């Protein structure tokens, strides 16, 4: 079965059809810039446009979004407009496309993709997925089951939210080389280790295209692996969430 996944990020909105039986992209990911301000009214027509780009794909749509999702409603607004708080993301997709929809936290979606078909497949212990991008998204799994809506990027390290120090955007903004940035990421991993004792860390986001530059510099008693699906993990996980409908 092929379903459409859409992933809203701080800089771009990505979409692609996904074979949910194996997590494979059926067509290349397409993207449009995230509007400013990124309000529901601004994003809604872009969702409709992205759905129209894949006329052969029907069925439910998955929407991955940078928010805590409770009872179908957005509860936070990380890197999007605060007017999203209290908004029903699945309803927005239904109004834009006339199709059923699943609304899921973006890092939870990425984690779902990695656990089902990627770097975490077959892992039965405790797995923490961290997506390093505009911020730091997180997902935690035990025995393959998701504990939703974690916000580990907001924990305090050296008086700042972790994502303000160690997200991929923070590396660029501070002009850090790979070694300097890896030390900041190691602080995040060390804190996660102290709190949760995971068996595996999976690190995702577009920055993993440069894994050879920083991956060997990362340290933890837990195993560390790059996400198999990289920057497409949110799109794939969104489609997998839609399949559960």
All domains in the chain, ordered by first residue: 2-108+233-243 (3.30.420.40), 122-227 (3.30.420.40)
Per-residue exposure over 149-172, b if at least 16 CB sit within 10 Å of its own CB, e if not: bbbbbebebeeebbbbbbbbbbbe
Tell me what pLDDT residue 10 has. Answer: 84
Tell me what pLDDT residue 145 has. Answer: 96
Tell me what pLDDT residue 198 has. Answer: 98
Tell me what pLDDT residue 231 has. Answer: 87
Identify the segments of the chain with pLDDT beneath 50: none
CA distance 38 to 41: 8
Cis peptide before 102 (omega within 30 of 0): no
pLDDT digits (tens, 9 = 90+) for 129-145: 999 998 999 999 999 99
Beta-carbon count within 10 A of 94 CB:
15
Helix and strand element counts for the chain (H, E)? 8, 15
């Amino acid at each position: 079965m092929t379903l459409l996944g859409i992933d809203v990020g701080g800089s771009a909105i990505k979409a692609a059809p996904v074979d949910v039986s194996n997590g494979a992209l059926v067509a290349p990911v397409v993207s449009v810039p995230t509007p400013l301000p990124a309000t529901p009214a601004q994003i809604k027509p872009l969702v409709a446009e992205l759905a129209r780009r894949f006329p052969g794909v029907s069925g439910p749509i998955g929407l991955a979004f940078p928010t805590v999702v409770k009872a179908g409603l957005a509860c936070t607004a990380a890197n999007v407009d605060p007017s999203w708080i209290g908004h029903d993301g699945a309803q927005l997709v239904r109004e834009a496309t006339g199709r059923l929809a699943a609304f899921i936290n973006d890092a939870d979606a990425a984690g779902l993709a990695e656990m089902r078909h990627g770097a975490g497949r077959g892992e039965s212990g405790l797995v923490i997925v961290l997506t390093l991008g505009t911020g730091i998204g997180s997902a935690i799994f035990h025995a393959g089951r998701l504990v939703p809506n974690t916000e580990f990027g907001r924990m305090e390290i050296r008086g700042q939210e972790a994502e303000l120090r160690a997200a991929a955007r923070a590396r660029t903004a501070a002009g850090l080389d790979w070694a300097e940035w890896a030390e900041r990421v190691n602080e995040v991993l060390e804190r996660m280790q102290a709190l949760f004792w995971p068996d595996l860390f999976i690190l995702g986001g577009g920055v993993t295209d440069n894994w050879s530059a920083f991956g060997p510099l990362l340290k933890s008693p837990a195993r560390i692996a790059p996400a198999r699906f990289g920057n497409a993990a949110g799109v794939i996980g969104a489609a997998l969430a839609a399949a559960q409908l």
